[in-house]
């Protein structure tokens, strides 16, 4: 039991707080690391919501002593954030719970509701003394708020927050936080009427209001509301599909607000995944890079890795594509234009489309590349939306009749405008080190692993244009092109024999095998 807050009204329930000593005790308790991480996440959500903090203050100042702001107010906040929504889902009411066995009269709750309504108009306040709730289900008198909350019909709803006298946010969750953050609806094991849960799910419309919420037994729909779901016959023949902040939509319906910061500032990060036989290749490596890039520019990605995997799985299933390309983008959200960070949730969009096939003969014959100055910023290891220098370099290559621009900074080849670049000399592969001057490609990771597997030296050392021209062979890699040999450099001549070499062919043959493995 999480038991970091020992207030008497908690009644022995699973009580959480943001105080450092409590978090430390959780880390030392067996099996509590996951709950402690979810607690920190919940408190982070709360700290970034000025309206919530203001309402907690109103409850402290104008509500019953020791009262908690609970139920839908907290649950909805978490589910809205996990869906990447900029706007909060409207509340039916703001539930305030407290425990006073000395005065269990329902009439005593009304003055508290009136006081809160006067201090914070615009919310429908509902104040309930949990000390009078036990007869409803024939329970013995409760020991405190936590015990009463544990009898609520579902496990994701009994979550409460309050503000202590020293302005610390405290949390109470008798069933823990895992179901809340997993967006799972599960009946409380302590609820005596099992039919109440089913009635509430049907009446509240949670599965429709939050498309990623599902029943714990897996029977709940994942995706858009029922009336918007794609008909199975249409789904079977569908190809391209989109996702935006909790909704699966056609690409025609995937419209971003004008004040989306990715649109106005390029304020975001992205990933590109290739799907083989229904599975994104090297998914975990892509997610590592996504979260690393987001951390470096201080964007919080609301869904965790498990939630992102679930969304991507659903996107692939709905598209009907066994093979395709997924583009995922996370931005700092939607807010009035201002260079400073806004206090809004991040925004998540994805698309899946059929593969962009290489032109016939490209991999078999090799390609020409154009040497081009590397004019990008000094944080190329971040997979940022800011790609204007890459675009200009790629366009220069296209206008020169080349497949790719190979970028040169301070006399050294860094990478391609949308790929990593390698040379092969005396049987060894050589490529620029994974510094801030290049993007560490996921296909680059695969190449290094294959080289180690096959006993091919893999050297991370920068090389210049002249060394590239003198190489035995050279090639490019990215998730979209896999591996493409370089036959020559525009205006400078061929590389090696001017045809794909044995190392590039061997590496790509193994790469293709790996894409067919789970």
Range of the domain at 201: 8-215
Bridge partners (DSSP) of residue 274 are 325
pLDDT bucket at 266, cuts 50 / 70 / 90: very high
248 in a structural domain: yes
Q: Which two tokens stand for residue 439?
A: 């993007």
Neighbours of 332 (CB within 10 A): 23
Report pLDDT digits (tens) over 460-513: 999 999 999 999 999 999 999 999 999 999 999 999 999 999 999 999 999 999
Which of 57, 161, 85 has its CA nearest to residue 344? 85
Looking at 162, 193, 215, which one is the last position of a domain? Answer: 215
Give the percent of the chain with pLDDT over 70: 89
Q: Is residue 220 part of a domain?
A: no
pLDDT confidence of residue 18: 41
Residue 2 included in any domain: no
Question: What is the C-alpha to C-alpha distance for residues 66 and 334, in angstroms, rounded to an integer?
Answer: 36
Please say if the pLDDT value at position 11 is more than 60: no
Residue where one domain finishes, among candidates 325, 353, 381: 353
Q: 449-454 — which CB contacts under 8 Å span 24+ positions?
A: 450/507, 450/510, 450/511, 450/514, 451/507, 453/510, 454/506, 454/507, 454/510
Average pLDDT, the chain: 87
Average pLDDT value for residue range 151-161: 94
| pLDDT tens figures, 371-396 | 999 999 999 999 999 999 999 999 99
Q: Which two tokens stand for residue 269?
A: 């990060």
Q: What size, in residues, is the chain?
A: 518
Is 1 within a domain? no
Residue 38 lies in a domain: yes
The DSSP string of 443-488 is HHHHHHHHHHHHT--EEE----HHHHHTSSEEEEEETTTEEEEEEE
| Residue 399 scores a pLDDT above 50 | yes
3-state helix, strand, coil in the chain (%, to 5): 35, 20, 40
Using pLDDT thresholds of 50, 70 and 90, give the confidence band for residue 122.
confident
Q: What total number of domains does the chain contain? A: 3
Instruction: Look at residue 227 in the predicted model and tell me its pLDDT.
Output: 30
Least confident of 226-235, 292-301, 348-357: 226-235
Q: What is the pLDDT of residue 394?
A: 97
Do both 197 and 234 map to the same domain?
A: no
Q: Which residue has the higher pLDDT, 402 or 235?
A: 402
Q: Report which of residues 12 and 90 the model is more confident about.
A: 90
* Active-site residue identified among 128, 184, 353, 383: 383
The per-residue pLDDT for 234 is 36
pLDDT reading at 356 higher than 90: no
Mean pLDDT to the nearest integer, 338-366:
92
The per-residue pLDDT for 307 is 87
Query: 């489309």: which residue's tokens?
Result: 353
User: In this structure, what CATH number is given to the domain that contains residue 396?
Assistant: 3.20.10.10
Q: Do 112 and 190 have their domain in common?
A: yes
Domain end: 330, 353, 376, which one?
353
**Residue 147 domain-assigned (yes or no):** yes
Rounded to an integer, the average pLDDT of 20-33 is: 39
Residue 163 sits in the same domain as residue 40:
yes
Across 75-79, 88-92, 384-388, the highest mean pLDDT is recorded for 384-388
Residues 63 and 37 in one domain: yes
Residue 262 pLDDT exceeds 60: yes
HSE-CB for 406 with a 13 A CA cutoff: 30
Answer yes or no: 383 catalytic: yes
Q: Residue 302: what pLDDT?
A: 82
Residues 317 and 347 in one domain: yes
Q: Dump pLDDT digits (tens) for 439-455.
A: 999 999 999 999 999 99
As to burial, measured by CB atoms within 10 angstroms (0-12 exposed, 13-18 middle, 19+ buried), residue 450 is: buried
Share of the chain above pLDDT 90, in %: 64
CA–CA gap between residue 54 and residue 361 (Å, rounded): 64
């Amino acid at each position: 039991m999480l038991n970091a807050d020992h207030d008497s009204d908690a009644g022995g329930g699973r009580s959480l707080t943001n105080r450092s000593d409590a978090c430390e005790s959780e880390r030392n308790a067996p099996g509590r690391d996951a709950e402690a991480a979810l607690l920190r996440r919940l408190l982070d959500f709360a700290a970034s919501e000025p309206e919530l903090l203001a309402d907690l203050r109103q409850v402290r100042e104008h509500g019953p002593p020791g009262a908690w702001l609970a139920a839908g107010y907290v649950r909805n906040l978490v589910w809205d954030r996990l869906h990447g929504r900029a706007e909060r889902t409207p509340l039916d009411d703001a539930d305030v719970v407290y425990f006073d066995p000395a005065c269990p009269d329902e009439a005593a709750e009304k003055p508290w509701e009136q006081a809160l309504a006067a201090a914070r108009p615009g919310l429908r306040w509902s104040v309930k003394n949990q000390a009078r709730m036990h007869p409803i289900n024939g329970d013995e008198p409760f020991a405190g708020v936590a015990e009463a909350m544990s009898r609520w019909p579902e496990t994701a709803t009994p979550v409460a927050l309050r503000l202590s006298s020293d302005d610390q946010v405290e949390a109470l969750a008798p069933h823990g936080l895992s179901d809340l953050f997993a967006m799972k609806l599960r009946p409380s094991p302590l609820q005596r009427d099992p039919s109440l849960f089913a009635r509430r799910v049907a009446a509240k419309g949670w599965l429709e209001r939050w498309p990623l919420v599902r029943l714990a037994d897996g029977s709940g729909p994942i995706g858009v509301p029922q009336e918007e779901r794609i008909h199975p016959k249409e789904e079977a023949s569908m190809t391209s599909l989109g996702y935006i902040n909790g909704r699966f939509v056609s690409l025609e319906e995937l419209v971003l607000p004008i004040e989306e910061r990715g649109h106005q500032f390029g304020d975001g990060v992205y990933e590109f995944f290739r799907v083989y036989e229904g599975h994104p290749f090297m998914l975990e490596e892509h997610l590592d890079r996504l979260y690393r890039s987001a951390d470096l520019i201080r964007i919080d990605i609301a869904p965790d890795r498990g939630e992102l995997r679930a969304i991507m799985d659903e996107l692939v299933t709905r598209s009907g594509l066994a093979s395709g390309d997924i583009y995922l983008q996370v931005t700092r959200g939607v807010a009035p234009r201002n260079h400073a960070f806004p206090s809004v949730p991040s925004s998540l969009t994805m698309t899946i489309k059929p593969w962009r096939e290489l032109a016939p003969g490209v991999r078999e014959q090799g390609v020409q590349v154009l040497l081009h100055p590397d004019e990008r910023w000094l944080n190329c290891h971040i997979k940022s939306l800011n790609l204007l220098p890459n675009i200009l370099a790629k366009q220069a290559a296209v206008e020169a009749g080349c497949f790719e621009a190979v970028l040169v900074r301070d006399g050294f080849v860094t990478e391609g405008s949308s790929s990593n670049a390698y040379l092969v000399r005396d049987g060894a592969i050589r490529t620029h080190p994974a510094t801030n001057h290049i993007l560490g490609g996921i296909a680059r990771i695969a190449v290094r692993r294959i080289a180690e597997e096959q006993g091919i030296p893999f050297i991370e050392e920068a090389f210049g244009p002249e060394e590239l021209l003198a190489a035995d062979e050279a090639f490019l890699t990215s998730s979209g092109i896999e591996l493409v040999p370089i036959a020559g450099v525009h205006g400078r001549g061929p590389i090696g024999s001017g045809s794909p070499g044995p190392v590039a062919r061997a590496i790509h043959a193994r790469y293709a095998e790996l894409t067919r493995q789970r």
